[in-house]
């Protein structure tokens, strides 16, 4: 079995914690592990033979690769890069095409990277039931046994049942509350989990039948693929021409071979702050508090601090989330409208929808400390053995002060070794490189000065990570 993990999303429903450049699947929002790490563990735990394939995009590729390198050594089947987002049906088609080269009947277990699923044993049992149907040629989806009349999920209506699964009678759009209550009382309705299981060849057969243009574009794109480090880049032009559609609409609602396996395993898509409040342990007053939080006379609230102390008094049913650069305060019943705030941030030309103050790079991180008209100060961390690209800037000079670890600095024709409390100066226009030869993270303070301090003022000559 191949666990295909979809990690191309850049969701904003958990903004400001989730940003486009570092969305919720890379965050430890429920436990000490990130949602992606939990998903990888979930797939690998199914059997010793299970391998993992990830599908992601250009912006997130190094974070995904780091997760797989840490958790799935020897069991990674590949990392496919989508040049543009085209929804789930084409993404899964790429995985099926990759597998079909060697084993067209291999089972693909498709899992989003940003879901919570607490009962691993129940999940394993459901996958075993689904595997029998999938090997027989069925296209399996997993229906979550509903606990409440939820209006934020699509539903699956089950038909005739046998062997632990049921035929899919219909996929149903998100209902209003009265309809959702009726579904719950009637029975036979499940939340649509977005998880699937089928043979690679059967998915491609159904795609050819119902979306031939999509399959044609995916085939052309995969044929035009290129390898880059740990990644497989599919052909951009062909993939851009691919229709944009979900697997639900493109295949599952049209095929006659769709079946649903009930799943009752503590599932959540963590689709909003209220959902995150709902699935976490609450105090006697119904509060979930994470980080540095003090409360008095507070009830039914989710309060999350990334750093600064949050002190709340006399409020009910609120969401308060503090990050380095944004504080969100919302009524818990209105958190689905966070996207409206994000739209305002974008419209104002700001960057808080896209980046955190701490920006992740394949070699480590940098974090803005201070900035002014012609200066900027950053805290830079370089991972052991990692190096920045050989580069130069047209509009800024840089001053580096090492505060922890050892640095090898290339400056023009020179090569310097700097240790703690030592510094160097990189004049404007001089080629330079920073390398960490040590076994501990290298930390330094960078002071930039110049007429323009944007991240796009960079000319790369050499780069370990093949960035343009």
pLDDT tens-place string over residues 336-382 = 999 999 999 999 999 999 999 999 999 999 999 998 989 999 999 99
The pLDDT of residue 120: 94
The pLDDT of residue 147: 87
369 three-class SS: strand
Query: Is residue 160 very low, low, confident or very high in pLDDT (cuts 50, 70, 90)?
Result: confident
Averaged over 24-52, what is the pLDDT?
94
Q: What are phi and psi of 156, to 5 degrees?
A: -120, 125
The pLDDT of residue 9: 76
Q: Rounded to the nearest 5 degrees, what angle is found at the Cα of 48, between the Cα atoms of 248 and 134?
A: 30
CA 229 to CA 350: how far, in whole Å?
A: 33
Collect contacts of 327-334 with beta carbons under 8 A, ≥24 apart: 327/16, 328/15, 328/16, 330/273, 332/273, 332/274, 332/277, 332/300, 332/301, 332/302, 333/274
**pLDDT tens-digit series, residues 89-130:** 999 999 999 999 899 999 999 999 999 999 999 999 999 999
Residue 314, pLDDT above cutoff 80: yes
Any idea which of 10-19, 199-208, 277-286, 289-298 has the lowest mean pLDDT? Answer: 10-19
Q: Which of 85, 350, 411 is nearest to 244 (CA)?
A: 85
Q: Rounded to the nearest 5 degrees, what angle is found at the Cα of 117, between the Cα atoms of 115 and 123?
A: 125
Q: Which of 180, 184, 218 is nearest to 89 (CA)?
A: 218
CA 309 to CA 298: how far, in whole Å?
A: 16
Question: Which is it for strands 189-199 and 414-418: parallel, antiparallel or unpaired?
Answer: unpaired
Tell me 269's DSSP state: -
- What's the CATH number for 358-462? 2.60.120.10
**pLDDT tens-digit series, residues 65-77:** 999 999 999 999 9
Query: Is residue 164 very low, low, confident or very high in pLDDT (cuts 50, 70, 90)?
Result: confident
Task: Quote the tokens at residue 351.
Answer: 């960057």
- What's the CATH number for 2-268? 3.90.550.10
CA 139 to CA 143: how far, in whole Å?
A: 13
Residue 10, pLDDT above cutoff 80: no
CA 454 to CA 464: how far, in whole Å?
A: 22
The pLDDT of residue 151: 87
CA 304 to CA 321: how far, in whole Å?
A: 5
Contact 22, 63 (CB under 8 A): yes
**pLDDT tens-digit series, residues 397-426:** 999 999 999 999 999 999 999 999 999 999
Residue 468, pLDDT above cutoff 80: no
The pLDDT of residue 467: 80
Q: What are phi and psi of 252, to 5 degrees?
A: -65, -35
CA 229 to CA 235: how far, in whole Å?
A: 16
Question: Which is it for strands 293-296 and 310-313: parallel, antiparallel or unpaired?
Answer: parallel
* For the chain, domain boundaries: 2-268, 282-346, 358-462
CA 109 to CA 87: how far, in whole Å?
A: 17
Q: Which of 143, 127, 115 is nearest to 44 (CA)?
A: 127
């Amino acid at each position: 079995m191949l666990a295909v993990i979809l990690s191309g999303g850049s969701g904003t429903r958990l903004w400001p914690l989730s940003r486009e450049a570092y969305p919720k699947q890379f965050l430890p929002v429920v436990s000490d592990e990130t949602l992606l790490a939990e998903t990888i563990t979930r797939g690998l735990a199914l059997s010793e033979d299970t391998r993992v394939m990830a599908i992601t995009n250009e912006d997130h590729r190094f974070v995904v690769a780091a997760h797989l390198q840490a958790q799935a050594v020897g069991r990674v089947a590949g990392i496919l890069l989508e040049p543009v987002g085209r929804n789930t049906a084409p993404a899964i088609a790429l995985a099926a095409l990759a597998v079909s080269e060697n084993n067209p009947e291999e089972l693909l277990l498709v899992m989003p990277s940003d879901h919570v699923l607490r009962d691993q044993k129940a999940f394993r049992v459901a996958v075993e039931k689904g595997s029998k149907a999938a090997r027989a040629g069925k296209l399996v989806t997993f229906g979550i046994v509903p606990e409440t009349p939820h209006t934020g999920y699509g539903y699956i209506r089950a038909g005739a049942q046998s062997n632990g699964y049921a035929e899919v009678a219909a996929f149903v759009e998100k209902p209003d509350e009265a309809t959702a209550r009726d579904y719950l009382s009637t029975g036979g309705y499940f939340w649509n989990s977005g998880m699937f299981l089928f043979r690679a060849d059967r998915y491609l057969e159904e795609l050819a039948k119902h979306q031939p243009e999509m399959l044609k574009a995916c085939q052309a794109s995969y044929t035009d693929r290129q390898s880059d480090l740990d990644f497989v880049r599919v052909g951009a032009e062909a993939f851009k021409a691919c229709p944009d559609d979900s697997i639900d609409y493109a295949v599952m609602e049209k095929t006659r071979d769709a079946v649903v396996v009930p799943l009752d395993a503590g599932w959540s898509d963590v689709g909003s702050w209220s959902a995150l409040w709902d699935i976490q342990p609450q105090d006697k007053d119904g509060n979930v508090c994470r980080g540095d939080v003090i409360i008095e006379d507070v009830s039914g609230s989710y309060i999350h601090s990334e750093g600064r102390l949050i002190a709340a008094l006399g409020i009910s049913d609120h969401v308060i989330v503090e990050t380095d650069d944004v504080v969100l305060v919302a009524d818990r019943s209105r958190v689905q409208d966070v996207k409206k705030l994000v739209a305002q941030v974008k419209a104002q030309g700001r960057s808080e929808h896209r980046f955190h103050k701490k920006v992740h790079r394949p070699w480590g991180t940098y974090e803005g400390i201070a900035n002014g008209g012609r200066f900027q100060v950053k805290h830079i961390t370089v991972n052991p053995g990692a190096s920045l690209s050989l580069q130069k800037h047209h509009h800024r000079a840089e001053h580096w002060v090492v505060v922890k670890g050892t640095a090898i600095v290339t400056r023009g024709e020179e090569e310097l070794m700097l240790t703690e409390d030592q510094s160097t100066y990189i004049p404007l226009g001089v080629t330079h490189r920073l390398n960490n030869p040590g076994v501990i993270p290298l930390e330094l303070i960078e002071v930039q000065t110049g007429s323009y301090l944007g991240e796009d003022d960079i000319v790369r000559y050499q780069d370990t990570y093949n960035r343009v």
